[in-house]
Amino acid sequence: MGFTYHLALLLLLSAVSAQLSGHVGPTSSLESKQSKICNVLDYGGCIGSSDIGPAITSAFTDCVLNNSGSTLYVPAGDYDMKTWVNLSGGTQWAFRLDGLISRAATTGGNMIAIEDADDFEFYSANSAGGIQGFGYQCRNAGPRLIRIVTSTNWSVHDLILVDSPEFHLVIQEGFNGEVYNMAIRGANIGGSDGIDVWGTNHWIHDIEVTNRDECVTVKSPASNIQVERIWCNQSGGSAIGSLSDGTAIEDVLYRYVYTNGGNQALMIKSNLGSGYVRNVVFDHFISRGTAYGLDINQYWASQTPGSGDGVQLSNISFSSWDGNVADGVARPPIQLICADGAPCFDITLTDVYMWSETDQAIVKCESAYGSGVSCIQSGPTHTSYAVVTASVTKPSGYTSPATMSGDLSTGFATDVAIPTPTIPTSFFPGLPQISPLAKNL
């Protein structure tokens, strides 16, 4: 094997070893958080309530904050919610949501925000609880569903999030968080992100997302982020960005990501700006019929340009990809468009077999340095160069991408209610989930 292969392998292994750093998730057991059950039905709530928000707040304020090792409990059943809740503080506590809460007001913000929590778990014991956002009624003019803010040592799992008016789950800063075993159903429209995450040492895994915007996306600032076993099922696809001035992202691993239809398999997107994205690995991707494939675009037209010359991308590795785009001439299966003012370097593609459903394809590169695709340049000097477009033939290692039982053929409509799904037990072809559903424990 040649020097280039060994160098690429060394870069890949060094990047992988620098992802999650130590413990993620709660630091005490779920059982230790059940010494006191704070049932919303004891704090003014009732099944079928027209507004369960005040009961949630009262149960948290009067019970959780006064009892270490407690659980805020919303029993199985249907509830409307008009008053959003901001649950701030608390240590060694859980929020057990076994019921389905439906949005019944158009106030902006977040239906449920958890802020400054430590040793915290938000889950559904029956793996059927969650939030129905009815976003079709107030598109981009209502709340996000859940926001976890500056919290530490926490987990969110076994929840179902449906049709948020805006984003579904936002993880804002904090550290040592874990998100897993979730089904997210959004509409076939922009502004419907599945999971947005930034912060330090967060693990996102075993998630299904349907929408027409980001599936699971890392935003700035972020470090030690691991995303794996993700099913973007008629979704906009995975992303890092949008990035602009002052970007600081490093030590990120995406692996075992399956994308069925949608916008892209993976996009790193920015428009000029400043800062850096470095030490990132995208390993074992399968994609079928996406519009874009492997896509770096640092002149993304949908974003207002930043004030800098470009976000510096370096040590970005792509390995073991098998996928196709809908039309490989209209939108290349591989496109590396880097900022002329900050050429990207050490961009390594190893065993990346991307092709087109039309059986014709091109690749594009601009100011990109590395190896593994014909249009990229190599060498120690990284100066800007104009777009290079090259026609390519089907890669010899390409095979027809695998499928998943439950693949959707189209996204969900924007003008009617989206049905509530169940959480699957596999999120990547041939791989089981990492942790069993709570209802099966």
- Catalytic residue numbers, as ranges: 213
Closest CA to 116 of 167, 164, 60, 54: 60
The span from the CA of 11 to the CA of 13, in Å, is 6
The span from the CA of 186 to the CA of 420, in Å, is 11
Q: How far apart are the first and last CA of the chain?
A: 47
Number of Cβ atoms within 10 Å of the Cβ of 96: 25
**Which pair of tokens denotes residue 279?**
């030490």
Q: What share of residues in the chain are helix, strand, coil (percent, to 5)?
A: 10, 50, 40
Check residue 199 and report its DSSP letter: E
Residues paired with 335 in a beta bridge: 295, 364
Stated as kind and residue range, the H or E segment containing 152 is strand 152-157
Give CA separation, 129 vs 39, 113, 356, in Å.
15, 17, 40
Number of Cβ atoms within 10 Å of the Cβ of 164: 30
CB half-sphere exposure, 152, CA atoms < 13 A: 5
* DSSP secondary structure string for all residues of 370-399: EESSTT-B-SS-------EEEEEPPPTT--
User: Positive or negative CA dihedral for 295, 366, 276, 4?
Assistant: positive
271 contact partners, CB below 8 Å, separation of at least 6: 242, 244, 298, 299, 300, 301, 303, 304, 305, 306
Stated as kind and residue range, the H or E segment containing 216 is strand 216-235
Check residue 82 and report its DSSP letter: -
Q: Which position has the token pair 């793996």?
A: 127
- Three-state DSSP class for 127? coil
